[in-house]
Structure 1
Amino acid sequence: MTTTTLNPPVGRGALPFIDARHPDRPLVVNYYRPARHRPNDPVIVVQHGMLRNGDDYRDFWIEAAEQHNLLIVAPTFPNEEFPKAEGYNNGLVVAEDGTIAAREQWLYAVPARVLEALRAGGVIDQPVIRIFGHSAGGQFVHRMLATQGSEPYAAAMASNPGWYTLPTLERRFPEGLGGLDLDREALVRWLAYPMILFAGDRDIVTDDPNLPSQAEALAQGPHRYGRAHFMLDCARTEAERLGVPCNWRLITVPGIGHDGAAMSRAAAAWWFEGRIPSTEELKPQGTAVA
């Protein structure tokens, strides 16, 4: 495959991106590049929510980018080219006829290929790379870790997903990892990775039309906050059954609901300041964004 090159100018912007595995489905890479950022300075990959608003999610991180010298990279999957949950959250893994698509077609490898394009453009070399996803992006991130492994991400947060793929081979994807030709070793690696479940304790609405409500999701709890606890409990139980470590962690963000802006600010503070800010600090704009 021909290597795509990305070399965004300093500042805030967006660049078209054609993924070699999906040449007929153009993406957009929303980015913010501080003037002082160098190839080995930190990188944050940000996965947007159901609104496909990578531009908003990039903007949520700009203040932290300037403060901590972060390159923000927000691969954006337009709904027209990647429709519904099947075309984004679920990674194009399950084809329209219910069969499992060829692994090379799964979307979960796309962010890593965006990073390779930035490396080819000389923008990054070997930086510490973290990935954050909120809502549908949180679904994307944890399924990416489950199916692709953790490379090249030193840290990962799945923030306020609507529901989860459980760490079991006994249930078919996306409820579990069954049918994907993954083995026990892949499951053990996922459990061992220090994935963070990032959960706003006010994300407890049960009548949100965008909250997944199929039977498999409802079995995980009535709302997103409850489902985060269900996921961690399930992981610990499975790890105990297998006799292996579970290094996942659930971090609660007090006073915050389904708010992508506030959760982004909380994630930046957790990673780069070692703290969760107060509710007053997290909601200066007072607007929740999915």
Structure 2
Amino acid sequence: MTPDLATALSAPGRAAIPWLDPACDPERPVTLHCYRPEGFTPDSPVVLIQHGMLRNGDEYRDFWIPAADRHGLLLVAPTFVALHWPQAEHYNNGLVLEGDRVRPRDSWAYAIPLRVFAALQAAGVTRRARAYLFGHSAGGQFAHRLLSTQKHDALEAVIAGNAGWYSLPTLDTRFPAGLGGIGVTHQELVKLLAYPLTILAGDQDTETQGPSLPSQPEAIAQGPHRFARAHHYLKAGQAEAARRNTACNWRLVPVAGIGHDGAAMSRVAAALWFENRLITAEEAGAQTAGAL
């Protein structure tokens, strides 16, 4: 059953809303961890937030609450709980593949956040035509793959932060290392390259091993650590755009003094979007060990 979003979000504050998306997999529910500030109206911006590997959408929502209160943002963090989405292939890689079989595109996990946004529109919670999308760590993987495989009509802006590795913008390499073999077309690839994606990369996110850093050969080929892999992704986009004689409108924003810190990177993203400035590590409250 689709929840009554208008009722669930009728009052200011936090909310945890169960969400079942039968087009994806009725056995895999998600939870929408939301926050409505006092100043929210249906014309206020909506921010979709994708958590990291810890499946901690409630914490990621909370990272954004100060910005939500300042700017009147509705926060929605679709949370892919580990019980139902336990592995990288379920969340990071979007449940695109089932063994060697490619699942129907509407059933991919990447379709869920935009369907949630459409439901918010249908319920009258928002009158906005487009939402902002932010993802960090595993959520950065999710966000850039969502952008790579879904329509862009409902996306105001996208930031992928500190992703562990990337699906390179090529149809010559099979997913998830590339975008080949899953039905992505030349026209969709050109639109991906043209989209003004922001790749957010902490310059201290340079660990070269650890349980959260993807270590398969395809990931290692992109660089020894996340900061290097972000640069590799941008260069791959620029090279593919040149090869196809089209534009690459991506930009990489290095963030000085910040490592793999989801809270700090959330604050950086909020300031980029809603204050048009790059804040310092000190302003972002960067920690030695941040949230995944």
For Structure 1 versus Structure 2, the TM-score category normalised by the shorter chain is over 0.9
Q: Hey, what's the Cα distance between the residues in 1 that align with 2:159 and 2:287?
A: 23
Deviates most, 101-110 or 65-74 = 101-110
In the other structure, the counterpart of 2:206 is 204
Picking from 266, 276, 279, the partner of 1:277 is 279
Q: Please tell me whether residue 150 in structure 1 is matched to residue 148 in structure 2.
A: no
Deviation of the 1:20 alpha carbon: 2.5
Is 1:102 paired with 2:104?
Answer: yes
SS of 1:154's partner is: strand
Q: How does 1:21-100 map to 2 (within 5 A)?
A: 21=23, 22-95=25-98, 97-100=99-102
CA contact under 8 A between 2:261 and 2:287: conserved in structure 1?
no
What is the deviation of 1:99?
Answer: 1.9
Equivalent residue runs for 1:151-166 within 5 Å: 151-166=153-168
Displacement after TM superposition at 1:221 (Å): 0.1
Task: Specify the code of the residue in structure 2 equivalent to 1:240.
Answer: A
Aligned to 1:120: 122
In 2: Cα distance, 1:93 partner to 1:85 partner: 11
Which residue is equivalent to 1:248? 250
| 8 Å contact kept, 2:258–2:286 | no
Relative to structure 1, the CA distance from residue 87 to residue 135 in structure 2 (aligned partners, 3 Å threshold; closer, same or farther) is same
Show structure 1 runs of 5+ residues with no match. none
> Hey, what does 1:224 align to over in structure 2?
226
Q: How many percent identity over aligned positions?
A: 52
Amino acid at match of 1:230: H
* 2:5 alignment partner AA: L
Q: Distance in 2 between matches of 1:124 and 1:36?
A: 13
SS in 2 for 1:74: strand
Would you say the 8 A contact 1:203–1:257 is kept in 2? yes
Amino acid paired to 1:14 = A
Taking the aligned partners of 2:136 and 2:213, their CA distance within structure 1 comes to 13
Whole-angstrom CA distance in 2 between matches of 1:202 and 1:92: 31
Aligned length: 288
* Aligned-partner Cα distance in 2 for 1:31–1:3: 16
Deviation of the 1:272 alpha carbon: 1.1
TM-score of the aligned structures, taking structure 2 as reference length: 0.95
Normalising by structure 1, we get a TM-score of 0.96
TM-fit CA distance, 1:185:
0.6
* Aligned-partner Cα distance in 1 for 2:289–2:172: 40
Shift of 1:236: 0.4
**Worse-superposed segment, 280-289 or 10-19:** 280-289
Q: Which moves more between the two structures, 84-93 or 14-23?
A: 14-23
Q: Aligned letter for 2:49?
A: V
Q: Which residue does the alignment assign to 1:13?
A: 15
RMSD across aligned C-alpha pairs, in angstroms? 1.4
Work out the CA distance in 1 between the residues paired with 2:210 and 2:235. 24
- Alignment check: 8 A CA contact 1:129 1:153 kept: yes
Alignment match, 2:182: 180
State the Cα deviation string for residues 44-88 of structure 1 (Å, max 9, x = none). 100000000000000000000000110001000011111210010
